[in-house]
Amino acid sequence: MDKLESFHQDVLRGLKDHPKWLQPKYFYDDNGAALFQRIMEMPAYYLTACELEIFRDKTVELAEVLHVQQEPFDLIELGAGDAMKSSFLLEHLLREQADFTYMPIDICGEVLLTLRDRLNRDLPNLEVVPLHGEYLDMLREATEQSDRRKIVLFLGSNIGNMELEDAHGFCRTVNRRLKRGDTMLTGFDLQKNPHTILEAYNDKEGITAAFNLNLLERINRELDADFNISAFQHYQTYDPIDGGCRSYLVSGTAQKVNIGGEVISFEANEPIAVEVSRKYTPLEIDQMAIETGFAPLAQIADSKNWFVDAIWQVN
Ligand SMILES: C[S@@+](CC[C@H](N)C(=O)[O-])C[C@H]1O[C@@H](n2cnc3c(N)ncnc32)[C@H](O)[C@@H]1O
CATH of the domain at 85: 3.40.50.150
Ligand 1 atom with the smallest distance to the CA of 157 is: 8
CA distance 312 to 290: 9
CA 231, CA 250: separation in Å to the nearest integer?
Answer: 8
Confidence category of residue 18, pLDDT binned at 50, 70, 90: very high
Report d(CA 189, CA 302) in Å as an integer.
Answer: 11
Q: What is the pLDDT of residues 181-237, one digit of tens each?
A: 999 999 999 999 999 999 999 999 999 999 999 999 999 999 999 999 999 999 999
Residue-number span of the structural domain to which 28 is assigned: 3-41+195-278
Average pLDDT over residues 299-305: 98
| 228 lies in the same domain as 302 | no
Same domain assignment for residues 209 and 151:
no
Which pLDDT belongs to residue 78?
A: 98
Q: Are residues 76 and 149 in the same domain?
A: yes
Whether 164 and 306 map to the same domain: the answer is: yes
Q: Is the pLDDT of residue 1 over 80?
A: no
Regarding whether 212 and 89 lie in a shared domain, the answer is no
pLDDT band at 67 (very low <50, low <70, confident <90, very high): confident
State the pLDDT confidence band at 3, using cuts at 50, 70 and 90: confident
Residues 58 and 76 in one domain: yes
What's the structural domain count of the chain? 2
Q: Determine if ligand 1 sits within 6 Å of the CB of residue 79.
A: yes
Point out the ligand 1 atom lying closest to the alpha carbon of residue 136: 20
Q: Are residues 209 and 80 in the same domain?
A: no
Three-class secondary structure assignment of 32-54: HHHHHHHHHHCCCCHHHHHHHHH
For the chain, give the mean pLDDT.
96
Give the mean model confidence (pLDDT) for residues 44-53: 97
Distance 78 CA to ligand 1 centre (A): 7
Backbone angles phi, psi at 71, to 5 degrees: -160, 170
- Amino acid 2: pLDDT: 86
Tell me how far apart the alpha carbons of residues 95 and 125 are, in angstroms, rounded to a whole number.
Answer: 10
Based on the domain organization, do 182 and 308 belong to the same domain? yes
- Check whether residue 91 and residue 178 sit in a common domain: yes
Using CA positions, which residue lies closest to atom 19 of ligand 1?
A: 134
How far apart are alpha carbons 185 and 75 in whole angstroms?
11
Ligand 1 neighbour 132 (Cβ under 6 A): no
